[in-house]
Homo-oligomer: A and B are copies of this chain.
């Protein structure tokens, strides 16, 4: 598309804000501008521990809903506990909704190893109908909630390279610089500025 419009399908206002902030940051952009359009489609999510498979299933639904030829991307975020061999994974959103932060921390109490990784997987369908994947991973540990509890599980995840802060205690820019979502979208942004889509 000549005007570089891409559609981000999400119903999560916090994610949208974060992604807008990342994709519009200054880059060597060859005078290219990307216009982000939001669609809050309700996409079904697949049960799987393969995060690309979940993202692809959402991507295909988005393409089916919007029609082929329109560049569109979806993202899915997982929180993988080492001790749980990667679970709750993509199901973390259901645990958050059903149990809340305190009980998520509590169910790890009997386990010494609190390490976890936060993963964002982006599935991008270009105008030719080809799918591309971008993934960002940030390792850290699960801790009792610290900081604002307004964005998902940010207050119980302390990245290893955050100088002891949880995501929720970090500034937006500091978080985006090391976060799973920041890393995934940095790759995606580079791709968008260097390729026709």
Residues on B with C-beta less than 8 A from A94 are: 47, 49, 87, 89, 91
**A65 at the B interface (CB under 8 A):** no
Interface size classification for chain A: 20 to 34
| Residue ranges of A at the interface with B (Cβ–Cβ < 8 Å) | 44-47, 49, 57, 83-91, 94-95, 98-99, 103, 106-111
Selected A-B contacts with CB under 8 Å, 10 pairs: A45-B46, A45-B47, A47-B47, A83-B103, A84-B95, A85-B99, A86-B98, A106-B111, A107-B111, A110-B110
Across the interface, A99 reaches (CB within 8 A) one of B45, B84, B103, B110, namely B84
Residues on B with C-beta less than 8 A from A107 are: 84, 107-108, 110-111
- B49 adjacent to A91 (CB under 8 Å): no
Across the interface, A47 reaches (CB within 8 A) one of B46, B109, B110, namely B46
- B90 adjacent to A98 (CB under 8 Å): no
Residues on B with C-beta less than 8 A from A83 are: 103
Residues on B with C-beta less than 8 A from A87 are: 91, 94-95, 98-99
Identity of the chain B residue whose Cβ is nearest the Cβ of A106 in the assembled complex: B110
A98-B85 contact, Cβ under 8 Å, with A45-B47, A47-B90: yes
